[in-house]
């Protein structure tokens, strides 16, 4: 299982995430349909963004799946975040008032 | 994750946004990031294992937080008001530190056998130094803060990168601030609220305006000049700001949110502030150093509902610290460890990723299930609002009966002739301790001790009546507004020594 705190990048768009809460499902985490790889890993040159998974993602938002996995987008990109072909969903947080 | 990533996100998404204003210095997120990279280089080339900071804060605090993070060492902002000996004693407890000090404190820390660099030199070197960008282990310590030590020797609280970033990402929405939003920061750099302010406002995308030595008139002036939309103050600051607003009637049209915390704020002061600033949303924030800042908030809506409530149980919530933040769990426990239900007072325990509970040289004080004992006496009401009744260390034991000073203080401070008060236990041959109310009279009033005792007796059980009432011009407090009860107790005990 991927460790909490691991940073990953997309191979087909600008997306970068950090794993906030890991789950086995994240072993198949994808952005734009292609597997996400470690931040320092070489990107594969011959894969492209899957048009069916190109809704994009939002900077600073947390995305979750049904298995309790959670990732934070640290750099937004054009690819949809998914586990396999199932898109992750944005975790809606109730806004808290500024307290510091 | 590392706190460094918070800055990386802020600077990559909006590099030209003004991140902070501190005296003459203005930095965009990109400039702050570049300076932090250079600062990390300065720290790395010093071979220090820790950074200590002695100074009034401002831009230096976020700069050192991120420089240290990128050099993968921990940083400790120290209380610059301490004596030279006091400072050296704390610095000696840090592993091979590089001491960064504002010009006026360089002499105070020089000669302690440590590497010392002035804040100005640090900034100048950071501008030209080769950048260092280590990636700190997220479970390593990012910040070490000394507790104020009002009741015992200061303890060194260790906050990891994960503690701090869990707090930020769990309670703050990235980039949620409007472009015109600006936060006025006047809490000291060595206080957890100073650390969390630097991280949370940057992450929210809110310009940080620093006021390094608090003055109520200057605070009001800066709110107007910089279009400040939110601010955080400790009780003593709120008291002074209210006094200025009462006499000068300065309008603060941009201010939308005012958070207060650090220690308990008397209810009459909260009501007065609410009536003077009817368009401002008030936030009461409760947290501890060990919990990486806020763990419960009383929101602006909560304030309004409580103020307008006919129902006594809702009205009472104005004196609560609100509800726990979603990422923190709370429990109230009896002395034997039993978890108590609504309305039953006991010790507050908290659990969550932002909770450290670890001290240098002591280790973790979390229990097997990760719960941290706060040493605060508290209870939850039926709706889950949290009421804090003071420190368990402050409990007065009179003739075998446990008495929480807060209960008596809450009554006394509502008397029209009382501006402020603290209730403490003084040594007594017959009772062990007696209840002494130390009262600061309202301006122009000369309250009568018997009258005040009668006022308390009319509302609480007879055993809660102060045995003695003494008057004082002001209460001794530390910079964050905590009343120095030990000081009051030793004065009282000394004054009754036989001549």
The structural domain count of chain B equals 3
**What angle is formed at CA B113 by the lines to CA B107 and CA B117, rounded to 5 degrees?**
50
The sign one gets for the Cα dihedral B306, B310, B314, B317 is positive
B372 neighbors B291 (Cβ within 8 angstroms): yes
**pLDDT score of B250:** 87
Q: Quick one: B420 and B367 in the same domain?
A: no
Q: Are B194 and B334 in a shared domain?
A: no
Output the pTM of the full model: 0.92
The whole-angstrom separation of Cα B450 and Cα B455 is 9
Answer whether A75 sits within 8 Å of B12, measured CB to CB: yes
Each residue's pLDDT tens digit, B258-299: 999 988 898 999 999 999 999 999 999 999 999 999 999 999
B261 contacts A74? CB cut-off 8 A: no
Q: What is the overall mean pLDDT for chain A?
A: 94
B317 inside domain:
no
Of A74, A95, A100, nearest to B173 by CB-CB distance is A95
Q: Which of B208-217, B234-243, B437-446, B476-485 has the lowest mean pLDDT?
A: B476-485
Task: Please report whether residue B138 resides in a domain.
Answer: yes
Query: What is the structure's pLDDT at B150?
Result: 66
- Chain B residue closest to A100 (CA)? B197
Whether residue B309 is contained in a domain is answered as no
Among the partner-chain residues A59, A75, A95, the one whose CB lies closest to the CB of B175 is A59
Which structural domain range is residue B490 located in? 395-495
The complex scores an ipTM of 0.93
Q: Is residue B38 part of a domain?
A: yes
pLDDT higher than 90, residue B253: yes
B364 and B268, same structural domain? no
Structure tokens at B102: 């504002």
pLDDT computed for residue B499 by the predictor: 43
pLDDT at B237 over 50: yes
Q: Based on the domain organization, do B185 and B157 belong to the same domain?
A: yes
Query: Domain containing B362 — which CATH number?
Result: 2.30.38.10
Q: Which residues of A touch B293 (CB under 8 A)?
A: 99-100
Taking CA atoms, B397 is separated from A19, B404, B433, in Å, by 50, 9, 6
Nearest to B413 by CA among B455, B467, B474: B455
CATH of residue B414's domain is: 3.30.300.30
In this predicted structure, what is the pLDDT of residue A57? 97
Residue B498 has pLDDT above 60, yes or no: no
Q: By C-alpha distance, which of A31, A4, A32 is closest to A19? A: A4
Q: Are residues B172 and B293 in the same domain?
A: yes
**Which residues in B lie closer than 8 A to residue A61 (C-beta atoms)?**
174
**Long-range Cβ contact pairs of B431-434 (< 8 A, separation 24 or more):** B431/B398, B431/B399, B431/B467, B432/B397, B432/B398, B432/B399, B432/B400, B433/B396, B433/B397, B433/B398, B434/B398, B434/B467, B434/B468
Q: B337 with B273: CB under 8 angstroms?
A: no
If you count residue pairs, one on A and one on B, with CB atoms under 8 Å apart, how many are there? 76
Q: Looking at the structure, tell me whether residues B284 and B331 fall in a common domain.
A: no
CB spacing of A59 vs B13 below 8 angstroms: yes
Work out the mean pLDDT of chain B and round it to a whole number: 94
B368 and B404 share a domain?
no
Is B117 domain-assigned? yes
Cβ(A28)–Cβ(A4) below 8 Å: no
Which residues in chain B (160-199) have CB-CB distances under 8 A to chain A?
A: 162, 169, 171-176, 183, 187, 193, 196-197
Q: Which residues of chain A have a Cβ shorter than 8 Å from any chain B Cβ?
A: 4-5, 18, 20, 59-62, 72, 74-76, 93-100
Percent of chain B at pLDDT > 90 equals 87
Question: Using 50, 70 and 90 to split pLDDT, how confident is the model at B479?
Answer: confident
> What percent of chain B has a predicted confidence (pLDDT) above 70?
98
Look at A6-20, B221-235, B474-488 and tell me which has the smallest mean pLDDT. Answer: B474-488
Question: Are residues B273 and B417 part of one domain?
Answer: no
**Residues on chain B touching A75 (C-beta within 8 angstroms):** 9, 12
Query: pLDDT category, B96, cuts 50, 70, 90?
Result: very high
Closest CA to B263 of B299, B281, B236: B236
CB contact under 8 A, A74 and B259: no
Q: Under an 8 A CB cutoff, do B293 and A94 touch? A: no
Q: Which residues of B touch A76 (CB under 8 A)?
A: 13
Give kind and range of the element (H or E) at residue B19.
strand B18-22
How far, in Å, CA of B428 to CA of B388, rounded? 28
What is d(CA A83, CA A67) in angstroms, rounded to the nearest whole number?
10
Interface test with B, best of A72, A91, A99 (most B CBs within 10 A): A99
Distance from CA of A7 to the nearest CA of B (A): 9
Round to whole Å and give the CA distance between B1 and A96.
21
B194 DSSP assignment: H
Q: Is residue B451 part of a domain?
A: yes
pLDDT for residue B249: 86
Nearest-CB residue to B174 (from A5, A59, A98): A59
- Residue B151: per-residue pLDDT: 64
Contact A100 B169 (CB under 8 A): no
């Amino acid at each position: 299982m991927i460790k909490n705190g691991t940073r990953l990048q997309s191979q087909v768009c600008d997306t970068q995430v950090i794993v906030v809460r890991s789950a086995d499902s994240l072993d198949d985490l994808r952005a734009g349909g292609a597997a996400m790889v470690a931040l320092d890993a070489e990107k594969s040159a011959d894969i492209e963004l899957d048009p069916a998974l190109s809704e994009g993602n939002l900077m600073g938002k947390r995305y979750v799946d049904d298995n309790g996995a959670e990732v934070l987008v640290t750099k937004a990109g054009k690819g949809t975040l998914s586990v396999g072909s199932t898109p992750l969903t944005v975790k809606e947080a109730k806004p808290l008032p500024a307290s510091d | 994750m590392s706190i460094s990533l918070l800055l990386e996100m802020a600077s990559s998404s909006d590099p030209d946004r003004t991140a902070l204003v501190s005296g003459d210095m203005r930095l965009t997120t990109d400039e702050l990031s570049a300076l932090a990279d250079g600062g990390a280089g300065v720290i790395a080339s010093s071979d220090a294992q820790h950074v200590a900071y002695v100074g009034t804060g401002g831009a230096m605090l976020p700069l050192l937080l991120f420089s240290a993070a990128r050099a993968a060492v921990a940083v400790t902002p120290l209380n610059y008001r301490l004596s030279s000996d006091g400072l050296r004693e704390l610095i000696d407890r840090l592993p091979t530190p590089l001491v960064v000090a504002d010009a006026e404190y360089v002499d105070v820390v020089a000669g302690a056998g440590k590497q010392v660099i002035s804040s100005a030199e640090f900034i100048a070197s950071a501008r030209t130094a080769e950048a260092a960008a280590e990636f700190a282990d997220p479970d390593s310590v990012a910040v070490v803060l000394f507790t104020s030590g009002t009741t015992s020797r200061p303890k060194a609280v260790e906050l990891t990168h994960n503690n701090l970033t869990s707090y930020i990402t769990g309670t703050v929405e990235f980039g949620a601030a409007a472009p015109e939003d600006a936060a006025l920061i006047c809490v000291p750099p060595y206080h957890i609220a100073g650390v969390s302010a630097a991280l949370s406002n940057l992450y929210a995308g809110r310009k940080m305006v620093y006021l390094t030595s608090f003055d109520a008139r200057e605070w009001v002036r800066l709110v107007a000049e910089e279009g400040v939309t939110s601010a955080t103050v400790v009780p003593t600051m709120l008291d002074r700001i209210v006094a200025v607003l009462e006499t000068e009637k300065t309008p603060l049209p941009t201010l939308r949110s005012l958070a207060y915390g650090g220690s308990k704020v008397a209810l009459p002061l909260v009501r007065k502030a609410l009536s003077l600033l009817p368009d401002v949303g008030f936030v009461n924030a409760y947290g501890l150093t060990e919990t990486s800042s806020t763990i419960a908030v009383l929101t602006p809506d909560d304030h309004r509902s409580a103020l307008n409530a006919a129902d006594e149980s809702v009205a009472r919530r104005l004196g609560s610290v609100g509800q726990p933040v979603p990422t923190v769990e709370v429990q109230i426990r009896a002395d034997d460890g039993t978890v108590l239900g609504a309305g039953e007072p006991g010790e507050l325990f908290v659990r969550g990723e932002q909770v450290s509970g670890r001290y240098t040289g002591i280790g973790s004080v979390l229990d097997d299930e990760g719960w941290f004992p706060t040493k605060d006496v508290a209870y939850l009401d039926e709706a889950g609002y949290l009421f804090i009744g003071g420190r368990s260390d402050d409990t007065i034991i009179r003739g075998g009966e446990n008495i929480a000073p807060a209960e008596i203080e809450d009554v006394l401070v509502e008397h029209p002739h009382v501006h402020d008060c603290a209730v403490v236990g003084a040594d007594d041959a017959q009772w062990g301790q007696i209840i002494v109310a130390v009262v600061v009279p309202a301006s122009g009033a000369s309250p009568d001790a018997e009258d005040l005792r009668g006022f308390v007796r009319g509302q609480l059980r007879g055993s809660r009546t102060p045995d003695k009432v003494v008057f004082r011009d002001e209460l001794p407090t530390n910079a964050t507004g905590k009343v120095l009860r030990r000081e009051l107790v030793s004065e009282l005990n000394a004054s009754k020594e036989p001549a």
